[in-house]
Amino acid sequence: MNNWQTRQSLIDRARDSNDQDAWEEFCKFYDPFITYILNLQHTPSALLDDVRQKVLIKLWQHLPHFNYNRELGKFRTWMSRVIKHTLIDELRLQQTRHIGLQSILEHQLHTMQSNDTLEQSIEEDWKIYLTKKALEKITQRFRGKAMSVFELSMNHHSSEEIAKLLNLKKNTVYRLRQRVQLALREEIQALQQLLEGTP
């Protein structure tokens, strides 16, 4: 059995404010992603930790009231709004406190407010994040040439080139690549199930 699988999604479990283990697991997966998104938004380094903590606090406070509805969007859509609004609020607060930084903060605030692609960017970055997490997991399972075949194929080497480089038969290259691709898809699906409750 895949050890990512669970009967409830992590989001559902983290909605219970009394489930400390679920919240810690939630933070383990989402905290680095939140930091990544804040960095993409060019959050000043002096504000990064404060904003990240405020985002986590808001998620913790509002997660019990979050109701997943496919028609209204995914959890990440909701989370992206929390990140965006928390950062905007913090930039406004800093703008009133630090008059000398006003023009820099004003520019960033304007950029944030006019950035309608943030949610789309978060969706794309989330897919990359999940893929990296899944790759970390399957790398532990596959040793030797299987991962080498996969990595070379991801770097646009042909099957013939890979076979020659690794001293393998061409059909072995196909088989190893397919095994790793299948495992990667399964890990991504398991992570989606764990983190989002989606198949």
Going by the DSSP 8-state scheme, the letter that residue 71 receives in this structure is T
132 CB burial (10 A radius; 0-12, 13-18, 19+): exposed
pLDDT on residue 163: 92
Contact call for residues 28 and 9 (beta carbons, < 8 A): no
* Separation in Å, CA 41 to CA 45, 47, 109, 170, 198: 11, 12, 10, 45, 28
Of the candidates 174, 118, 126, the residue with the CA atom closest to the CA atom of residue 30: 126
Which whole number is the average pLDDT over 145-171?
A: 91
The structure's pTM equals 0.62
- 147 Cβ contact partners less than 8 Å away, ≥ 6 residues apart: 139, 180
- Give pLDDT tens digits for 174-186: 999 999 999 999 9
- Give pLDDT tens digits for 131-142: 888 898 898 888
The residues spanned by each domain of the chain are 10-196
